[in-house]
């Protein structure tokens, strides 16, 4: 429910310096685009944000900025949920995806997340009241329950000390992808929380991401 700020982003500049174009998306639910747009995600977190990102990628491909074979999707936390949902539902649009400390099980999130976001799912998914409708919404919108549909390669990062999105979510997700025969690489950082701050781990994150992108990317022919 935040928005991309118009400011210098060192991570974006890092990928620019390596020849990548970077597109950022403010999907429905994002602030800064009017109240109706911000509230449009209610009851559809993990669905409309995924579809909006897919629409952006289709536009990029139609404009010949890239092809699916030279496109990767990257995101962390809620953005990681978008990555996983897109890989499960629109996998033909990308060559692979990178998800850092991703939300993959929305119901599990209601049981452990910090106070600031403790009731997000009440409006963004459904009240966690144990009703059949609630159960169906949490299952439908959680990527972990569509993990077997993730056919593109995926790289997952997670810290062992994450108290916002526990690492158990990624362990379950990775197990389900592997059990379905998917291509998944799982990197665990000891002592890291929700976001990586130890310099050596940040460096390894970038190096592993770059190696992953090199493996899955089929760049456009040079002119």
pLDDT tens per residue, range 17-31: 999 999 999 999 999
* Nearest by Cα to 106 from 91, 128, 79, 87: 128
The owner of tokens 């990548």 is 20
Kind and range of the H or E element at 91?
none
pTM of the model: 0.91
**Is 112 a residue whose pLDDT tops 80?**
no
Instruction: Place 124 in a pLDDT band, splitting at 50, 70 and 90.
Output: confident
pLDDT in tens, 34-74: 999 999 999 999 999 999 999 999 999 999 999 999 999 99
User: Nearest to residue 73, comparing CAs of 23, 142, 133, 148?
Assistant: 23
**pLDDT exceeds 60 at position 116:** no
Helices then strands, each counted (H, E), the chain: 9, 4
Checking if the pLDDT of 218 tops 80, the result is: no
Closest CA to 51 of 158, 165, 141, 148: 141
Q: Calculate mean pLDDT across residues 152-170.
A: 96
pLDDT (0 to 100) of residue 117: 61
pLDDT at 3: 84
Question: Is the pLDDT assigned to residue 81 strictly greater than 50?
Answer: yes
pLDDT tier at 7 (50, 70, 90 boundaries)?
A: confident
The CB density around residue 142, as the number of other CB atoms within 10 Å, is 25
Higher per-residue pLDDT: 108 or 93: 93
Q: Is the pLDDT of residue 162 over 70?
A: yes
221, pLDDT greater than 50:
no
**Per-residue CA distances from 6 to 3, 24, 176, 184 (Å):** 9, 11, 38, 33
- The rounded distance, in Å, linking the Cα atoms of 41 and 48 is 6
What DSSP line would sit under 12-74, residue for residue?
HHHHHTTT--------TT-TTS-HHHHHTTTT-TTTHHHHHHHHHHHHHHHTTS--GGG-EEE
% of the chain with per-residue pLDDT over 70: 93
Say what the pLDDT of residue 6 is.
83
- Tell me the Cα Rg of the chain: 17
Secondary structure letter of residue 193 according to DSSP: B
Mean pLDDT, the chain, rounded, equals 91
Higher pLDDT, 120 or 215: 215
Question: If pLDDT is split at 50, 70 and 90, which confidence band does 114 have?
Answer: low
């Amino acid at each position: 429910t935040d928005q991309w700020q118009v400011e210098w982003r060192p991570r974006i500049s890092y990928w620019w310096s390596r020849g990548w174009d970077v597109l950022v998306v403010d999907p429905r639910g994002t602030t800064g685009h009017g109240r109706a747009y911000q509230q449009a995600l209610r009851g559809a977190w993990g669905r409309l944000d995924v579809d909006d990102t897919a629409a952006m990628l289709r536009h990029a491909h139609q404009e010949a900025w890239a092809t699916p074979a030279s496109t990767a999707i990257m995101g962390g936390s809620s953005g990681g949920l978008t990555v996983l949902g897109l890989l499960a539902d629109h996998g033909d649009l990308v060559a692979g995806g990178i998800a850092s400390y991703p939300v993959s099980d929305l119901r599990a999130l209601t049981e452990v997340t910090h106070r600031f976001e403790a009731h997000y799912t009440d409006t963004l998914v459904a009240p966690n009241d144990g009703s059949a409708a609630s159960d169906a919404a949490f299952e439908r919108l959680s990527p972990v329950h569509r993990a077997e549909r993730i056919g593109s390669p995926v790289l997952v990062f997670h810290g062992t000390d994450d108290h916002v999105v526990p690492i158990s979510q990624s362990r379950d997700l990775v197990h389900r992808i592997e059990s379905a025969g998917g291509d998944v690489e799982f990197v665990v950082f000891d002592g890291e929380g929700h976001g990586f701050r130890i310099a050596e781990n940040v460096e390894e994150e970038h190096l592993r991401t770059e190696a992953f992108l090199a493996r899955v990317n089929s760049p456009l022919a040079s002119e």
